[in-house]
Amino acid sequence: MFDVSPLLLTGAGAFVVGLAAAILIVWRDLAPFAGLSGPRRVLLVVALGGGVLAFGLKLAVIETLSLADRDRLAPALTIPEPEPQPAHEVGRPVWQALPAVAPFPPDDPPTPAKEALGRRLFFATELSRDGTLSCASCHDLDRGGGDGRPTAVGIGGAVGPRNTPTVWNAAFQARLFWDGRAHSLEEQALGPIANPIEMGADPAEVARRLAADASWRADFAAAFGDAAPIAPATIARALAAFERTLVTPDAPFDRFLAGDAAALTPQQLRGMALFESVGCIVCHAGPGFSRASLLAPEEGRAGLRRFPSLATPYTTKFRFTDDLGAARSGTAGIWRVPSLRNVALTGPWFHNGAVDDLAEAVRIMATVQAGRVVTDEPHVAPRISWDPETRRLTRHTPSPLREDEVAAIVAFLEALTSDRLRDRASRAAPTSEARATPSR
């Protein structure tokens, strides 16, 4: 039950104050101004005082009823406060396994016929201008989905400027190509076909070429219906449907999250903790280990990053700024954050394929992106820099990262490799057809 005595006291006090104010106003201001005296002045006081009393009583009744309702309903609405998260746990990432099925457009669901057509197209040399290259020529499914070269080799032996990204798990990416210019597999699919130094073909001409073949017509009809034309759009849709089957949720990391405590070695578990504490997870977040992923917290909207962020000798040594990606100009590039899934199989690394050692790639990222110093020395010298705008010196001592910690991070990255792909790579012949150098 609730106590109304405070209300009575409040109401009484309000009435007394209001009445006193009314008397003062009437006798000192209103009555003389209106020329009232005697009984008329008294009537004005009573009228104003009664109004103040009525208003005070209304407020008291409203508040009383409100308190009664609150007292009656409070037990049913009581929600226990959540247990406070320990200070050291606030903001910690939640590790997630890769889904077994890739997302797809609601208006274009996958079917076995579409996936089969896409698979045939993926290995078809008819998609290139001179019939020498297929998608699989650069995206070797037996070797991590890339070609193992620093940069791609296209039609006529033309050497491209950028490393070939893996096609495995590309279906989870919200941004595709190194500069992130494509936002779906369908949008990406025709790019290499039309690129003059990749497959060098006109997608419309490719469609006409396929339409002239009865077997292609039959496969397209099975996938899209008799009325759907063989066109660049249906080619892209079929390729995308096949690529959405290239998913690898079977890494030791995924088995560890599923409850297999022995799936990660102690060194890999240590590397997992370092991956978090060093800051790798800031960009390589979510089940796809990429902010450019549909599975990232921002669903890929934060998938572009400045690289290299800090000036170090690595930039010159590996010529990282010869190509600036989406930045076009400036002193550093803007690049899509690549997925680290199966990263141990997708070297050489970086947009220009300049680094062929995964441990060196970790050292570079720790230095130019996380601001660490890789050293086994017990003491790290401070860095002193001058800001000409503020005319101030800045003194900063970077945190060291030891070589055994680099090795632990590399071990963790190896735990992101699909068991199935590792097996395929170990059994792949050194000179598979998909990996062969194109005719010159």
Catalytic residues, by residue number, are 198
Dihedral of CA 56/62/64/70: which sign?
negative
Alpha carbons 48 and 220: distance in angstroms, whole number: 89
Tokens of residue 167, six digits: 């096609």
DSSP collapsed to 3 states, 172-207: HECCECCCCCECCHHHHHHHHHHCCCCCCCCHHHHH
The whole-angstrom separation of Cα 10 and Cα 273 is 61
Q: How far apart are CA 101 and CA 72, in angstroms?
A: 50
Q: Are strands 400-401 and 373-374 parallel, antiparallel or unpaired?
A: parallel
CA distance 161 to 196: 13
How far apart, in whole angstroms, are the C-alpha atoms of residue 414 and residue 347?
A: 12
In angstroms, the CA 166 to CA 341 distance is: 9
Residues forming a β-bridge with 334: 306, 325
- Tell me the Cα Rg of the chain: 35
Q: Tokens representing 130?
A: 């001179």
C-alpha span between 93 and 296 (Å, rounded): 11
Residue linked to tokens 């449907």: 241
CB 291 within 8 A of CB 337: yes
User: Rounded distance, CA 440 to CA 434, Å?
Assistant: 16
d(CA 199, CA 191): 9
